[in-house]
């Protein structure tokens, strides 16, 4: 009890409440969206719910761990963390290659938990870049000694993710990386030139994959073929439209009745839109916005660039996924395959997002020892 009291007093309450609310909304909607699909494929409507509840429990434990871990240790370990995640990316690719597994090399299996190595890399990169900028400070404005090394690290991570292949995740991590560089004080011309040249190089790569080309083409004309890539988007729009202002009520979605394939993953937000209406999706989006604002609030109270950038990086990464997912289901962006944080089914995003939130909460901690102690947890 004292522990809870202590958390209540010393951590950013608002952020905790917001995140927990999102997790609860996620569970309820996951059950609603997945039950028919689960019943059809696994004979039990709670198949996905059971698995996700277990994952949430693990993720909350991990979050609690990071809440207690003095985040300042991360600054020293940033290089190691980055190297580990690079090794994981390479190792995953190797394992898939050696096993002749034709699937994209995205997953690493750790006991009951499966994690996407790109999710790990994302958090690692945020930590690394924050630490890097903290070290370089004004030198970041120097292209060769400040800016370029950071870009090389980002490019390395992105390259490894692109060859998985997972272009969408690579792109979004790129956006996060450059945003941190931007916040950290990198010169705008540097950023613009780098991004422009990166895009010039990557567009042909992007269009090489037929499925990606199809997604992009169908984005510009979603009604053209209702059987292919745009089918999901079309169903998603129907789903949202069905919801109207107040929604059809929990459990009443028509779309999840097997029209929308795997409604519990990337397109779960459209089911939320159908069952809880415009009101519901706005509330969820606002919760994400609040979480981001808390991130900024926490950054405001932070005393060093590392803390500020880490807090902002985590908060930005969190809301960016939510926005991009919403943009996809409302057909503002081509289908990316990116999940809705804390809501979509899956353990990897959940664990890494809550780990990030844990770090963020740790930054917000009021009773932080003034000097970094040798004790890791307190």
Q: Which is nearer to another protein, 184 or 358 (CB)?
A: 184
Work out how close the CB of 53 gets to another protein at its nearest, in angstroms, rounded to a whole number: 26
* # residues near another protein by CB under 8 A: 53
In the complex with another protein, the residue whose CB is nearer, 60 or 310, is 310
283 is a contact residue toward another protein (CB under 8 A): no
Q: What tokens appear for 285 in the block?
A: 């989006």
Instruction: Work out how close the CB of 279 gets to another protein at its nearest, in angstroms, rounded to a whole number.
Output: 9
Residues near 99 by beta carbon (within 8 Å), at least 6 away in sequence:
none
The answer to whether the CB of 75 falls within 8 A of the CB of 124 is no
Length of the chain: 378
219 forms part of the interface with another protein (CB under 8 A): no
Q: How crowded is residue 374: how many other Cβ atoms within 10 Å of its Cβ?
A: 6
Q: Work out whether 260 is an interface residue with another protein (CB under 8 A).
A: yes
Q: Which residue carries 């790129």 as its tokens?
A: 174
Q: Which stretch binds another protein (CB under 8 A): 23-31, 210-218, 324-332, 351-359?
A: 324-332
Q: Establish if 47 lies at the interface with another protein (CB under 8 A).
A: no
Cβ neighbours for 357, distance < 8 A, ≥ 6 positions apart: 15, 19, 63, 291, 314, 318
By CB under 8 A, is residue 29 in contact with another protein?
no
For residues 254 and 242, give the distance between their C-alpha atoms in angstroms, rounded to a whole number: 8
Nearest to 235, CA basis, from 269, 270, 211: 270
95 near another protein, judged by CB under 8 A: no
Contact track, another protein, 227-246, x by CB under 8 A: -------xx-xxxxxxxxx-
Of the candidate residues 261, 373, 377, 378, the single one contacting another protein (CB under 8 A): 261
d(C-alpha 300, C-alpha 298), whole Å: 5
The reply on whether position 304 binds another protein by CB under 8 A is yes
In angstroms, the Cα distances linking 161 to 70, 129, 155, 331 are 29, 17, 10, 25
Query: Which one among 129, 312, 314, 355 touches another protein, defined by CB under 8 A?
Result: 312
Single out the residue of 96, 143, 219, 259 in contact with another protein (rule: CB under 8 A): 259
Helix (H, G, I), strand (E, B) or coil at 340: coil
**Is residue 179 at the binding interface for another protein, with CB under 8 A as the rule?**
yes
Q: State the binding string over 137-176 for another protein (x if CB under 8 A, else -).
A: ----------------------------------------
d(CA 128, CA 5): 33
Give the other-Cβ count within 10 Å of 48's Cβ.
Answer: 23
Nearest distance in Å: CB 268, another protein? 15
Q: Does 369 bind another protein (CB under 8 A)?
A: no
Question: Is the CB of 109 or the CB of 137 nearer to another protein?
Answer: 137
Question: How far is it, in rounded angstroms, from Cα 219 to Cα 213?
Answer: 10
Q: Say whether residue 15 binds another protein (CB under 8 A).
A: no
- State the nearest-atom distance from the C-beta of 330 to another protein, in Å: 5
Nearer to another protein, 270 or 348 (CB): 270
Closest distance between another protein and the C-beta of residue 57, in Å? 30
Helices (H) and strands (E) in the chain, counts: 13, 2
- Distance, CA of 312 to CA of 304 (rounded, Å): 12
Instruction: State the residue for tokens 């500020």.
Output: 308
Spell out the residues 6+ positions from residue 154 whose beta carbon is closer than 8 angstroms to its own. 125, 129, 173, 174, 177, 178, 181
Residues that bind another protein (CB under 8 A): 40, 179, 182-185, 234-235, 237-245, 254-255, 257-261, 273, 277-278, 281-282, 285-286, 289, 292-293, 296, 299-305, 307-309, 312, 316, 319, 323, 326-327, 330, 332
């Amino acid at each position: 009890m004292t522990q809870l009291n202590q958390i209540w007093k010393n951590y950013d309450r608002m952020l905790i409440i917001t995140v927990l609310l999102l997790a609860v909304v996620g569970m309820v909607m996951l059950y609603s969206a997945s039950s028919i699909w689960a019943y059809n494929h696994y004979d039990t409507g709670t198949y996905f719910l059971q698995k996700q509840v277990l994952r949430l429990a693990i993720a909350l434990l991990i979050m609690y761990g990071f809440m207690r871990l003095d985040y300042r240790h991360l600054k020293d370990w940033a290089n190691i963390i980055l190297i580990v995640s690079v090794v994981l990316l390479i190792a995953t690719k190797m394992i898939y290659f050696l096993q002749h597994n034709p699937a994209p090399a995205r997953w690493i299996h750790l006991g009951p938990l499966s994690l996407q190595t790109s999710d790990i890399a994302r958090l690692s990169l945020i930590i690394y870049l924050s630490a890097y900028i903290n070290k370089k400070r004004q030198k970041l404005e120097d292209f060769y000694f400040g800016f370029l090394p950071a870009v090389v690290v980002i490019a390395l991570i992105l390259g490894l993710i692109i060859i998985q292949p997972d272009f969408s995740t690579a792109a979004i991590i790129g956006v996060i990386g450059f945003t941190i560089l931007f916040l950290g004080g990198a010169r705008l011309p540097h950023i613009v030139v780098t991004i422009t040249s990166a895009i010039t190089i990557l567009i042909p790569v992007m269009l090489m994959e037929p499925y990606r080309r199809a997604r992009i083409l169908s984005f510009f004309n979603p009604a053209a073929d209702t059987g292919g890539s745009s089918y999901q988007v079309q169903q998603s729009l129907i789903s949202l439209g069905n919801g109207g202002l107040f929604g059809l009520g929990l459990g009443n979605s028509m779309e999840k009745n097997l029209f929308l394939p795997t409604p519990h993953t990337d397109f779960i937000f459209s089911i939320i839109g159908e069952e809880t209406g415009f009101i519901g999706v706005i509330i969820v989006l606002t919760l994400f916005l609040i979480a981001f604002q808390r991130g900024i609030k926490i950054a405001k109270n932070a005393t060093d660039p590392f803390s500020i950038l880490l807090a902002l990086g985590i908060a930005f990464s969190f809301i960016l996924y939510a926005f991009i997912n919403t943009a996809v289901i409302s057909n503002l962006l081509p289908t990316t395959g990116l999940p809705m944080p804390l809501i979509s089914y899956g353990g990897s995003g959940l664990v890494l997002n809550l780990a990030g939130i844990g770090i963020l909460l740790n930054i917000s901690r009021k009773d932080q020892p003034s000097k970094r102690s040798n004790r890791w947890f307190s």
